[in-house]
Structure 1
Amino acid sequence: MTEFTDSKSSSQPIYDRLKDEIASGKLPPGQALRQHEIGIRFGVSKVPVREALLKLEAERFVEFRKNRGAIVREISDDEILNLIDIRIALECLAIELAVPNMIFADFAKAEEILSAYDSQTEPTAWSASNIAFHLCLYEPCNNDHLLKMIADLRSRLGPYSNTIVSTASGLERPQQEHQMILNACKNGAADEAAALLKDHILTTKKVTAAFLRRRRAG
């Protein structure tokens, strides 16, 4: 029983680090995750490494392939669109809860992010600014479980998929919609902010779906 507990304990830091590296793009889709090499890196046996990889597999960050072992899982086009649908439910709830708690500092931070967003020219930078803006609006919801679910969803998409979404969406349209959402928040109109956010994410899904179709065709 002690040995099992110890392996579980030693697998957690491995799981945390690998998940962070997958979410950040340091470990890209298709990257092999060799248990022996990971064991050497963390100074542990294969047992906690395998436990960490199995947990990542259960959360769909990793997959095991015959004769290849574990690799970083590549998210499919359909999954990108399905996860955008889940964003609507989670993020609209978050902004409804957040608006009544917002203060001037929250609005100032959001405006600062939007201002920096306008000066960016690359989709990767748009993606980072977009995520920062949305999370800034949701933080005052004061619901750590909900915020973690939103963050985990973003992690599951990963930087590659998030950049695809930003490339498809461009800069001008999302920025206009962001400002409208922020204005509703400033006015204390939680229902309006949630409705605008829903429309914003649905439009993002439509343009992303069209972009993915063109990419497959072309």
Structure 2
Amino acid sequence: MPTQQPRAKAPAKGLPQIIRDQLRYEILNGTMATGTQLRQDALAERFNTSRLPVREALRQLESEGLVTYQRNRGAVVAGMDVNQLCEIMDIRIALECHAAKIAVPNMVQRDFAHLQEILDLYNASESVAEWGEYNRRFHLALCAPANNTKLRRLIEEFCLNTDRYTHEMMSLATGKEGPQSDHFEILEACKQRDAARVAMLLERHIMETKNNLLATDRMKRENAAAGEDEDVRDAA
């Protein structure tokens, strides 16, 4: 009998990756707000290290669009305008719909049960922040059976980046009934192994969020303009 070779261990994360992952988590869950200054000396002291791994972690976060550099301030948590968010949603549609077409034929009963479990937790929650997390989990679980790690990583980054700015605002505006109805319809199409329908429903679902975002921004600008007009009339 041939000797069984020991399974190779996954390479341990380096210090820059550990710092990057922790800062990414804090940025995406809102602990670090847009505009927060990320001073290298303070972060080096926090993580008990030199500035070099901190600098590398910030560079990686900059490449993900989570950190930007400002004159006289250095690294800060990046913000996004509506046009940038809409561009990212278009990319999400392309990535997630492609992943769904690959994933659906590979799905087994365990995948359906996992998706159902996420939606049940979503239904039971009364926390807007938790709705965002369950939404993220559902979309990632949907693409996982595509068995493409690089594709999933891209989706995870764009999904997280978008949800950071949009999901709480959209949830407060629309509640969870509309998005959840979409999710259950997508799950049913998965069970029917109708990959084309899953991709179509997914595109419609993300487009609805995009259109709600544009409408919210439009109304905000209209209200601001109306307020300025009223101030002018009062001054007159």
Query: How does the TM-score come out when normalised to structure 1?
Result: 0.86
Q: Which residue of 1 aligns with 2:17?
A: 12
Structure 1 pair 59/131, CA: closer, same or farther in 2 (3 Å)? closer
Query: Contact 1:169–1:208 (CA<8 Å) still a contact in 2?
Result: no
Alignment deviations for residues 45-83 of structure 1 (CA, whole Å, 9 cap, x no partner): 323322322332233211111222211111222212211
Q: Secondary structure at the match of 1:32?
A: coil
CA distance in 2, matches of 1:117, 1:55: 32
Q: Secondary structure at the match of 2:34?
A: coil
Determine if the alignment matches structure 1 residue 50 to structure 2 residue 64. no
Larger radius of gyration: 2
| Greater helix content | 1
Q: Which residue of 2 aligns with 1:117?
A: 122
Q: Which residue of 86, 90, 97 maps to 1:85? A: 90
| Of 155-164 and 53-62, the range deviating more from structure 2 | 155-164
CA distance in 2, matches of 1:48, 1:33: 14
CA distance in 2, matches of 1:27, 1:10: 20
> Could you tell me the percent identity over the aligned residues?
40
Structure 1 pair 112/58, CA: closer, same or farther in 2 (3 Å)? closer
Deviation at residue 24 of structure 1 after TM alignment: 2.6
Q: Which residue of 2 aligns with 1:156?
A: 161
Structure 1 pair 10/102, CA: closer, same or farther in 2 (3 Å)? closer
Q: Which residue of 176, 200, 208 maps to 2:213? A: 208
Q: How does 1:111-150 map onto structure 2 within 5 Å?
A: 111-150=116-155
Task: Give unpaired runs (5+ residues) of structure 1.
Answer: 1-8
Q: Secondary structure at the match of 1:113?
A: helix
Q: How many residues align?
A: 210
Alignment deviations for residues 177-215 of structure 1 (CA, whole Å, 9 cap, x no partner): 212111111111111111111111112211121112223
Which protein has greater RCO, CA pairs closer than 8 Å, 6+ apart? Answer: 1
Task: Give unpaired runs (5+ residues) of structure 2.
Answer: 1-13, 224-236
Structure 1 pair 120/189, CA: closer, same or farther in 2 (3 Å)? same
Q: Which residue of 25, 32, 52 maps to 2:30? A: 25
